[in-house]
C-alpha cells in the first residue's frame, strides 16, 4: 500500500482510538524544511472532536502513532502542526517497492481522454521565442497527462488564412520576382516571413506618402495600394478564385516544410492538424445558426455580433460586413469539430499566450450560449511573454527572436563549453554534435519550463546553459555522473539483489532522496491539476541536488558493508531512472556520458 495512504489510515485509527470519533477529512502536507519530518498533520480542525488545544491534540496523536502505527519513529509539535518522522525501515521498504516496480512513474491507462492544443502558428512568418515556450509547455502538459494514464490527443490549429496571410502573398506578388525556397536557399517559412516584413515596410511608406498628399491617417491606411491588394486577395480567396488559391497553397506549402523541420528539432509532435481554412466554414455556419436562434444579432451593415454585456463582457463581432470571418469564427468551428472528432475527451486545453485571455473567455461563453455543454471542459493554459536581456540574440528582422536561430545558438554555445571543459577527447565529432544538441536544447527547454506558465519571464541564454545552478545541464550532468557510477559497479560485478532487508538505518541524505522519489506521483498529479510543467522541472532539480548532497557526503565505493554498498548502487540506479523519466516529460534528453 502507498505510504501516504497507509499513514492517513493510521492517523484515522489514532483519532478514533483517542477521541472516540471517526474522521474522514485530514489535512496532511509536506513538512516545512525547517523541521524534522516528512509529513505534517494540521491539528487545528481536530480540536472540535478532541476538546483540547491544538498542541495537546498534536502531542496525543503523535504519541499514539509512535506506540501503535509501526510507521512513525518520532514526532515534533510546532504549535498545532504535528511533524512526523517515518522510520528508516519503512523508507527502506518504500524504496524496495519503487525499485521493484519497473513502471514506476507511469500509471496504467485509466480510460480517460484529453486534448492538448499547442503551437498554432500563422503561416506568414517563422516560429519565434514565444512559440518555443508555447510548444514546450503544451508538449510537456500532454506528456504529463499521458504518464498519469490518459489517452492524449496532441493537436494544433494552423492559422493559414486571413488578411495576415494575404499580406505576405501581396508582397511576394509585387516584389518576389518568382523567388522560391530553392532559388534563395531559404527555409520556406523564412522566405514567406521576409515578404510579411516587406509588406509592412512598404505599407508604412505608402501611408506616409498619402498623408503628405493631405489624406487623413485613417483613410490612408485603407487607401494604401498594397493594403488594397491584400484585401482583394482575401476576397478572391474566400470566393475560391483559382489563381489566388494556387498562390496561397504554394506559399503555405513552403511554410509547412519549414515548420516541419523546426518541430523536428524542437522534439514535439502532433496527432492531428486542424486548418483554419477548413474550420472557419463550420464556424460561419454556427454563427448564422446563432443569428436564427437569437443568440447573435446583425447590424445594419450586415455584420454579425454577440452581445455579452449581461455577462460582464462587451459586444464582439463574429462576421464582418463583407461576410469575411474573424478569428473567433474559426475558433468556434474548430472547437465543435474537435469534440465531433474525439467525442470521449474529458477536456480541451488551449496553450495560448495570456494576451488572448479575453478571447478565450468570450469563446467559451459563446460555445455555452450555442448549447454546447462541453464548453465547461475547455481550459485556456495561459502563459506569460518571454523577454531577453537587451541586445542579445536578435533575429535578422530585429524585432523577434527566431526559434531556429535561438536553438542553433544554444547548441553552438553548448559545443563551445563542452570543448573548453576538455572531457570529450575520446568522442567522435558526431558524438560531440549530438551531445551539444542535447545540452543546448535541454538548457533552453528547462529554463523556459522551470517558471510557472502564468508568469512573464526573462530568458537568459548564458545563465540557462551553466553546469551549476538551477539549470537543465546541472540535471543532465547529475544523470551522467550516476550512469558512470552504475558502469563502474557493473565492471566490479556489484549487482543489487535482495539485500535490502539487511539495511536497518539510512543516512539523512539517503532518507531525503527516497522521500523525494516517493513524492513523484504526487508531483505528477499536481503538475496535471495546475497545467504546470514547472512542478516537474523543479522536482527534477531538487532530486539532482539532493543526490549530489548524498554523493558528496557518502563515498559509495568505500563502503565495506556489502548490503549497504549494493543498496547504494540500486539507490543511484533509481535516481537516474526517475531523473530520466521526469526530464523526458519536459521533452529533455539526458546523456549517458558528459
The answer to whether position 52 is within a domain reads: yes
- Cα–Cα distance measured from residue 562 to residue 494, given in angstroms and rounded to the nearest whole number: 9
- Identify which of 156, 146, 115, 94 has the alpha carbon closest to the alpha carbon of residue 584: 146
The answer to whether position 11 is within a domain reads: yes
Angle between helices 188-212 and 242-266 (to 10 degrees): 120
- Cα–Cα distance measured from residue 206 to residue 50, given in angstroms and rounded to the nearest whole number: 80
Shared domain for 443 and 581, answered yes or no, is yes
**In the listed set 86, 105, 131, which residue is the last one of a domain according to the structure?**
86
- The pLDDT value recorded for residue 426 is 77
Shared domain for 443 and 553, answered yes or no, is yes
Three cell numbers at 51? Answer: 476538546
**In the listed set 35, 66, 86, which residue is the last one of a domain according to the structure?**
86
- Cα–Cα distance measured from residue 54 to residue 81, given in angstroms and rounded to the nearest whole number: 8
Three cell numbers at 510? Answer: 539517503
Three cell numbers at 588? Answer: 529533455
Shared domain for 457 and 377, answered yes or no, is no
Shared domain for 365 and 449, answered yes or no, is no
- The pLDDT value recorded for residue 392 is 44
- Cα–Cα distance measured from residue 513 to residue 94, given in angstroms and rounded to the nearest whole number: 12
CATH number, domain with residue 498:
1.10.730.10
- Cα–Cα distance measured from residue 362 to residue 367, given in angstroms and rounded to the nearest whole number: 9
The answer to whether position 157 is within a domain reads: no
Q: Per residue in 445-457, pLDDT tens?
A: 999 999 999 999 9
> Which DSSP helix (H) or strand (E) runs through 152?
strand 151-158
Q: Using the 8-state DSSP alphabet, how is residue 122 labeled?
A: B
What backbone torsions phi and psi does residue 450 show, to the nearest 5 degrees?
A: -75, -15
Residue with cell 491584400: 230
The answer to whether position 481 is within a domain reads: yes
452: Cα within 13 Å, side-chain hemisphere:
4
Give the largest Cα separation in the chain, rounded.
Answer: 93
First to last CA, the chain: 38
> Which DSSP helix (H) or strand (E) runs through 100?
helix 88-100
Three cell numbers at 296? Answer: 447573435
**Under 8 Å CB-to-CB from 114, ≥6 apart: which residues?**
145, 150, 151, 152, 153, 345, 346, 347, 348, 349
Shared domain for 431 and 479, answered yes or no, is yes
- The pLDDT value recorded for residue 6 is 94
The answer to whether position 416 is within a domain reads: yes
Q: By residue range, what is the domain housing residue 31?
A: 3-86
The 3 state secondary structure assigned to 299-335 is CCCCCEEEECHHHCCCEEEEECCCCCECHHHHHHHHH
Shared domain for 332 and 478, answered yes or no, is no
What backbone torsions phi and psi does residue 124 show, to the nearest 5 degrees?
A: -125, 5
Residue with cell 551531445: 435
Q: How far does CA 343 lie from the centroid of its chain?
A: 24
Shared domain for 466 and 334, answered yes or no, is no
Q: Per residue in 201-210, pLDDT tens?
A: 999 999 999 9
Q: For strand 304-307 and strand 297-298, is the pairing parallel, antiparallel, or unpaired? A: antiparallel
The answer to whether position 45 is within a domain reads: yes
pTM for the structure as a whole: 0.92
Q: Using the 8-state DSSP alphabet, how is residue 52 labeled?
A: S
Q: How far does CA 62 lie from the centroid of its chain?
A: 40
- Identify which of 384, 378, 385, 403 has the alpha carbon closest to the alpha carbon of residue 393: 403
Shared domain for 541 and 407, answered yes or no, is yes
The answer to whether position 493 is within a domain reads: yes
**In the listed set 60, 86, 112, which residue is the last one of a domain according to the structure?**
86
Shared domain for 300 and 421, answered yes or no, is no
Q: What is the Cα Rg of the chain in Å?
A: 29
What region does 484 belong to: left with phi over 0, alpha with psi -120 to 50, or beta?
A: alpha
- Cα–Cα distance measured from residue 145 to residue 526, given in angstroms and rounded to the nearest whole number: 11
Shared domain for 560 and 460, answered yes or no, is yes
- Cα–Cα distance measured from residue 151 to residue 154, given in angstroms and rounded to the nearest whole number: 10
Residue with cell 514565444: 130
Three cell numbers at 498? Answer: 535482495
- The pLDDT value recorded for residue 397 is 42
User: Total domain count for the chain?
Assistant: 3
CATH number, domain with residue 77:
3.30.1360.70
- Cα–Cα distance measured from residue 513 to residue 92, given in angstroms and rounded to the nearest whole number: 11
**Under 8 Å CB-to-CB from 100, ≥6 apart: which residues?**
none
The answer to whether position 46 is within a domain reads: yes
Q: Please identify every stretch of the chain with a pLDDT value under 50, giving residue numbers as ranges.
A: 391-398
- The pLDDT value recorded for residue 74 is 96
- The pLDDT value recorded for residue 238 is 87
Shared domain for 496 and 435, answered yes or no, is yes
**Under 8 Å CB-to-CB from 521, ≥6 apart: which residues?**
105, 107
Shared domain for 474 and 534, answered yes or no, is yes
Amino acid at each position: 500500500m502507498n505510504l501516504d495512504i497507509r499513514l492517513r489510515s493510521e492517523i484515522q485509527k489514532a483519532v478514533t482510538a483517542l477521541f472516540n470519533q471517526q474522521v474522514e477529512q485530514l489535512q496532511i502536507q509536506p513538512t516545512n524544511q525547517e523541521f524534522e519530518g516528512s509529513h505534517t498533520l494540521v491539528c487545528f480542525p481536530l480540536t472540535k472532536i478532541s476538546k483540547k488545544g491544538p498542541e495537546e491534540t498534536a502531542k496525543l496523536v503523535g504519541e499514539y502513532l509512535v506506540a501503535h502505527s509501526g510507521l512513525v519513529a518520532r514526532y515534533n509539535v510546532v504549535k498545532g502542526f504535528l511533524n512526523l518522522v517515518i522510520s528508516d525501515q519503512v523508507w527502506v521498504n518504500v524504496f524496495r517497492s519503487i525499485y521493484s516496480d519497473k513502471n514506476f512513474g507511469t500509471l496504467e491507462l485509466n480510460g480517460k481522454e484529453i486534448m492538448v492544443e499547442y503551437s498554432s502558428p500563422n503561416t506568414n512568418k517563422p516560429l519565434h521565442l514565444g512559440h518555443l515556450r508555447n510548444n514546450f509547455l503544451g508538449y510537456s502538459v500532454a506528456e504529463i497527462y499521458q504518464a498519469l494514464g490518459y489517452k492524449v490527443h496532441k493537436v494544433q490549429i494552423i492559422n493559414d488564412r486571413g488578411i495576415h496571410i494575404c499580406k505576405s502573398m501581396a508582397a511576394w506578388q509585387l516584389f518576389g520576382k518568382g523567388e522560391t525556397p530553392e532559388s534563395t536557399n531559404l527555409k520556406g517559412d523564412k522566405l514567406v516571413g521576409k515578404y510579411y516584413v516587406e509588406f509592412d515596410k512598404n505599407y508604412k511608406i505608402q501611408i506616409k506618402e498619402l498623408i503628405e498628399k493631405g489624406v487623413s491617417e485613417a483613410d490612408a491606411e485603407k487607401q494604401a495600394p498594397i493594403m488594397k491588394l491584400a484585401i482583394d486577395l482575401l476576397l478572391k480567396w474566400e470566393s475560391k478564385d483559382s489563381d489566388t488559391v494556387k498562390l496561397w497553397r504554394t506559399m503555405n506549402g513552403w511554410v509547412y516544410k519549414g515548420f516541419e523541420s523546426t518541430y523536428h528539432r524542437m522534439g514535439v509532435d502532433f496527432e492531428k492538424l486542424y486548418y483554419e481554412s477548413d474550420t472557419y466554414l463550420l464556424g460561419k455556419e454556427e454563427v448564422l445558426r446563432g443569428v436564427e436562434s437569437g443568440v447573435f444579432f446583425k447590424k445594419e451593415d450586415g455584420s454579425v455580433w454577440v452581445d455579452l454585456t449581461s455577462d460582464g463582457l462587451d459586444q464582439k463581432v463574429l462576421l464582418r460586413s463583407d461576410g469575411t470571418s474573424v478569428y473567433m469564427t474559426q475558433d468556434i468551428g474548430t472547437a465543435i469539430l474537435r469534440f465531433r472528432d474525439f467525442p470521449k475527451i474529458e477536456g480541451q486545453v488551449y496553450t495560448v499566450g495570456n494576451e488572448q485571455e479575453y478571447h478565450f473567455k468570450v469563446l467559451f461563453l459563446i460555445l455555452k450560449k450555442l448549447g454546447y455543454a462541453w464548453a465547461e471542459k475547455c481550459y485556456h493554459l495561459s502563459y506569460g511573454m518571454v523577454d531577453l536581456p537587451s541586445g542579445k540574440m536578435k533575429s535578422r528582422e530585429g524585432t523577434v527572436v527566431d526559434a531556429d536561430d535561438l536553438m542553433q545558438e544554444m547548441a553552438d554555445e553548448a559545443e563551445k563549453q563542452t570543448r573548453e571543459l576538455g572531457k570529450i577527447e575520446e568522442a567522435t565529432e558526431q558524438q560531440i554534435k549530438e551531445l551539444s544538441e542535447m545540452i543546448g536544447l535541454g538548457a533552453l527547454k528547462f529554463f523556459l519550463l522551470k517558471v510557472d506558465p502564468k508568469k512573464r519571464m526573462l530568458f537568459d541564454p548564458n545563465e540557462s546553459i551553466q553546469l551549476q545552478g538551477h539549470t537543465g545541464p546541472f540535471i543532465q550532468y547529475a544523470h551522467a555522473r550516476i550512469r558512470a557510477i552504475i558502469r563502474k559497479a557493473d565492471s566490479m560485478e556489484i549487482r543489487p539483489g535482495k539485500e535490502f532487508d539487511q539495511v536497518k538505518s539510512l543516512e539523512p541524505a539517503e532518507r531525503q532522496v527516497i522521500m523525494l522519489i516517493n513524492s513523484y506521483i504526487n508531483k505528477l498529479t499536481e503538475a496535471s491539476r495546475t497545467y504546470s510543467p514547472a512542478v516537474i522541472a523543479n522536482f527534477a532539480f531538487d532530486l539532482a541536488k539532493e543526490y549530489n548532497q548524498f554523493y558528496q557526503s557518502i563515498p559509495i565505493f568505500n563502503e565495506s558493508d556489502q548490503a549497504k554498498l549494493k543498496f547504494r548502487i540500486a539507490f543511484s540506479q533509481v535516481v537516474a531512472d526517475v531523473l530520466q523519466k521526469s526530464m523526458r516529460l519536459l521533452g529533455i534528453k539526458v546523456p549517458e556520458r558528459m
